């Protein structure tokens, strides 16, 4: 009987050990595949809704392999950033619905859409915040010294800083619901200096300038946040990765300068016509473009009650492209 019990225990132990080993091997394989193939594939996609849905669905699966000892910080960081984009887009949709309801004088409906908007900003802040936490897990807490990085790690370093900045911006829009640490702007401002601006399309300069605009008294003497954003945008336009434009819009939005916002949107639209995006980073291009289109739609909804044309850069009262084609499409409605 004792031999039978011993045999049974041995078999169970071997099976448990083998399962654990299989899980670890699978986790390492999945992590390697995600870093080598999945992340580059997502970055090259211009289907932002597909990418954000993929991040929401795959993030928990990849993260679950931590339970068997696999390091998954980098792919989960990107997945959670994608998931944050999903919540951000829902917040944008709720904001447009809110503005349309206000335009129609539907107070209760407007209040409900505003509540949805705030909640989705909170969810976006949480997801971007988790992405930033993965950044800290991989690179360590910021101690004022730049880590040693290869090109691939520098890219992830930039993504982590972007997530942190977006987490702060969305948490403010959510009235502090996500409880994102207020230390992030200081970290982003300092750590962005670890990245060479021209190499990374001006984005480090944009990070720093947005922090200056969002934190009273943060702008160093002799510096101009708007001029630095313009320099960052110029670098991004030349490289075909206009991520800096996304942060330029984030920095200007809500400051009440409608004419400046229109000017920036029109410049973005013109830049897209003049130079094609860098294929391997089309997702970042599409993200920036979606923000310009959203700000354009806000202007249209406030003035007309409906969104603007799909080719943004035109505003109510201005000369429209393809006006005849628009009339032909609408004549039977």
As a whole number, mean pLDDT of residues 61-83 equals 86
DSSP letter at 332? T
Main-chain phi, psi angles of 162, to 5 degrees: -60, -45
Q: How far is CA 154 from the centre of its chain?
A: 17
DSSP letter at 34? I
Both tokens of residue 313?
Answer: 């850069």
Closest Cα partner for 245 from 257, 261, 259, 256? 261
Instruction: Yes or no: say if 232 and 197 are a contact pair by the CB < 8 Å rule.
Output: yes
pLDDT classification of 223: cutoffs 50, 70, 90? very high
Check pLDDT > 50 for residue 205: yes
pLDDT classification of 35: cutoffs 50, 70, 90? confident
Enclosing H/E stretch for 15: helix 2-33
Domain segments of the chain: what residues? 212-314
Note the pLDDT of residue 203: 96
As a whole number, mean pLDDT of residues 238-242 equals 92
As a whole number, mean pLDDT of residues 67-88 equals 89
Burial classification of residue 66, based on how many CB atoms lie within 10 Å of its CB (0-12 exposed, 13-18 middle, 19 or more buried): middle
Kindly give the interhelix angle for 203-214 and 243-252, rounded to the nearest 10 degrees: 10
Give the CA distances from residue 89 to residues 75, 168, 255, 291, 293, in Å, rounded to whole numbers and listed in that order: 21, 16, 21, 9, 12
Task: Return d(Cα 235, Cα 253) in angstroms, integer.
Answer: 21
Helical H runs in 240-315? 243-252, 258-274, 282-304
Percent of the chain, pLDDT > 70? 85
As a whole number, mean pLDDT of residues 198-220 equals 92
Note the pLDDT of residue 1: 59
As a whole number, mean pLDDT of residues 144-172 equals 95
pLDDT classification of 317: cutoffs 50, 70, 90? confident
As a whole number, mean pLDDT of residues 191-210 equals 96
pLDDT classification of 16: cutoffs 50, 70, 90? very low
Task: Return d(Cα 128, Cα 153) in angstroms, integer.
Answer: 19
- Top-confidence range, 101-105, 215-219, 256-260, 271-275: 101-105
Task: Return d(Cα 67, Cα 56) in angstroms, integer.
Answer: 19
Average pLDDT value over all residues in the chain = 87
As a whole number, mean pLDDT of residues 190-211 equals 96
Kindly give the interhelix angle for 243-252 and 258-274, rounded to the nearest 10 degrees: 170
pLDDT classification of 137: cutoffs 50, 70, 90? very high
As a whole number, mean pLDDT of residues 93-108 equals 97
Instruction: Yes or no: say if 157 and 138 are a contact pair by the CB < 8 Å rule.
Output: no
Task: Return d(Cα 80, Cα 232) in angstroms, integer.
Answer: 25
Check pLDDT > 80 for residue 129: yes
Residues 293-311 pLDDT 10s: 999 999 999 999 999 998 8
Residues 213-222 pLDDT 10s: 988 888 899 9
Instruction: Yes or no: say if 167 and 178 are a contact pair by the CB < 8 Å rule.
Output: yes
Closest Cα partner for 242 from 230, 251, 254, 253? 230
Asked which of 51-60, 104-113, 304-313 is least confident by mean pLDDT, the reply is 51-60
Instruction: Yes or no: say if 90 and 120 are a contact pair by the CB < 8 Å rule.
Output: yes
Note the pLDDT of residue 301: 97
Instruction: Yes or no: say if 146 and 157 are a contact pair by the CB < 8 Å rule.
Output: no
Note the pLDDT of residue 140: 95
Check pLDDT > 60 for residue 3: no
- Only one residue has tokens 């979606």, namely 290
Check pLDDT > 70 for residue 189: yes
Closest Cα partner for 4 from 18, 12, 16? 12
Calculated CA dihedral for residues 257, 262, 265, 269, nearest 10 degrees: -170
Where is pLDDT greater, at 31 or 51? 51
Closest Cα partner for 55 from 150, 131, 154, 132? 131
Task: Return d(Cα 80, Cα 137) in angstroms, integer.
Answer: 14
């Amino acid at each position: 009987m004792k031999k039978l019990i011993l045999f049974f225990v041995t078999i169970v132990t071997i099976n448990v050990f083998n399962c654990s080993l299989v899980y670890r091997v699978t986790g390492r394989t999945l992590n390697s595949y995600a870093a080598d193939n999945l992340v580059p594939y997502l970055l090259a996609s211009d289907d932002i809704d597909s990418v954000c849905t993929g991040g929401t669905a795959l993030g928990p699966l990849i993260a679950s392999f931590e339970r068997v000892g696999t390091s998954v910080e980098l792919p989960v960081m990107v997945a959670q950033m994608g998931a944050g984009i999903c919540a951000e887009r829902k917040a944008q949709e709720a904001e447009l619905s809110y503005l349309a309801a206000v335009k129609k004088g539907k107070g209760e409906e407007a209040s409900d859409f505003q509540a949805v908007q705030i909640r989705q900003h909170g969810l976006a802040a949480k997801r971007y915040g988790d992405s930033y936490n993965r950044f800290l897990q991989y690179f360590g807490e910021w101690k004022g010294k730049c880590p040693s990085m290869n090109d691939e790690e520098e890219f992830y370093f930039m993504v982590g800083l972007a997530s942190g900045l977006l987490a702060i911006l969305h948490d403010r829009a959510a009235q502090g619901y996500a409880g994102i640490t207020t230390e992030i702007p200081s970290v982003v401002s300092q750590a962005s200096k670890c990245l060479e601006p021209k190499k990374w399309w001006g984005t480090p300069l944009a990070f720093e300038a947005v922090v200056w605009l969002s934190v009273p008294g943060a702008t160093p003497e002799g510096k101009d946040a708007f001029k630095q954003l313009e320099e960052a945008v110029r670098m991004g336009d030349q490289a075909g990765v206009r991520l800096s434009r996304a942060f330029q819009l984030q920095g200007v939005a809500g400051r009440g300068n409608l004419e400046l916002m229109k000017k920036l949107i029109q410049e973005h639209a013109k830049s897209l016509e003049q130079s094609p995006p860098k294929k391997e980073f089309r997702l970042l291009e599409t993200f920036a473009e979606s923000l310009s289109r959203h700000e354009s739609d806000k202007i249209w909804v406030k003035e007309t009650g409906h969104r603007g044309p799909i080719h943004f850069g035109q505003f109510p009262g201005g000369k429209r492209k393809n006006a005849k084609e628009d009339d032909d499409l609408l004549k039977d409605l």
